[in-house]
Amino acid sequence: MPTAYSFPPPDAEMAALGYRTRVFGVSADSAGERLDRFLARVTGLSRGRARALIDFGAVWIGALVRRKQSLELAAGDEVTLHVPLYGPVHFYEADPGRILFEDRHLLAYDKEAGIPSQQTPYDGYNHAFGALGRLKAGEYLALHHRLDAPTSGVLLLAKDRTANLGLGRMFEQGGMEKTYLAVVAGRPAAESFEVDRPVSKRAGEYYCPEDGRGKPARTLFRVIGPAGGPEGEWTLIEARPLTGRTHQIRLHLTAAGLPILGDLAHGGRPYGRLMLHAAKLAFNHPVTSKRVELIAPTPEGF
């Protein structure tokens, strides 16, 4: 069974805080106090541990992450600690062997399942964009799209500002041809089918509204073949999203009665990982206009 990237085990001190997110108001009596001293005092953590969390990118004031230990707080500030359950541990670095393509303007990386594409509120270190920035220290990098953390496959970045405008337009206007692979429970009635259902967000969760409201979303699907399973009922499917909504493929397959294995958020059966892989990006190079096809090798188990 294929598994997602292996994260460190839970940290007892972090678990003892009791919540994934904790918010602390700064009173008039605390105005002028350093951020590291304040965080240590209100959480009961050591000052060194508090400083490590600040450096980790887990501490925010208002809507902004703050990494300055000596920052003086003002009355009325809200300090939010997004608790990393594994603690402020630096465990992920990009693997140069997973770089799929690189020239002066672009870099493509085969992202592992389980790794976020960019910073999460609780972790400013262990993500693909940050790790590639460390690998390419001193070089410019810009991220124009994201893969869900459980999804593996092609992640494309700009290495030069001259590529930004063209890449942005392609992702926004449909000039980027995207192909995914998914393993689902069940067998479609047709060898190819289409789902045209809008995507919306409610209480922090993405869904397809029954009333048709939301952002338009359309995906083309094609059956590749059987994919095994305990009773032979799993199917390997190719998905081509014509729009780029968050969780689009996952939601559309669930709407078709074919939830992806491992997609617990949308009705899928438990599995070692989300069985969704961004297999291919095809586009005209935003600077040279040459045709580019980026292919991420099919993961074991697909």
β-strands 64-65, 59-61: how paired?
A: antiparallel
Radius of gyration, alpha carbons of the chain = 22
Distance of CA 257 to the CA centre of its chain: 24
**What φ, ψ does residue 97 adopt, rounded to 5°?**
-70, -10
Residue positions annotated with a catalytic role: 148
**Dist CA 300 CA 141 (whole Å):** 29
Q: Residue 120: is it exposed, middle or buried by C-beta count within 10 angstroms (0-12/13-18/19+)?
A: middle
CA distance 176 to 242: 9
Angstrom distance (rounded) from CA 34 to CA 69: 7
Q: Which two tokens stand for residue 244?
A: 């780029």
Q: How far apart are CA 67 and CA 53, in angstroms?
A: 9
Contact 253, 238 (CB under 8 A): no
Provide φ and ψ at 222, rounded to 5°: -145, 135
Which among 176, 114, 148, 113 is positioned nearest to 302, based on CA atoms? Answer: 113
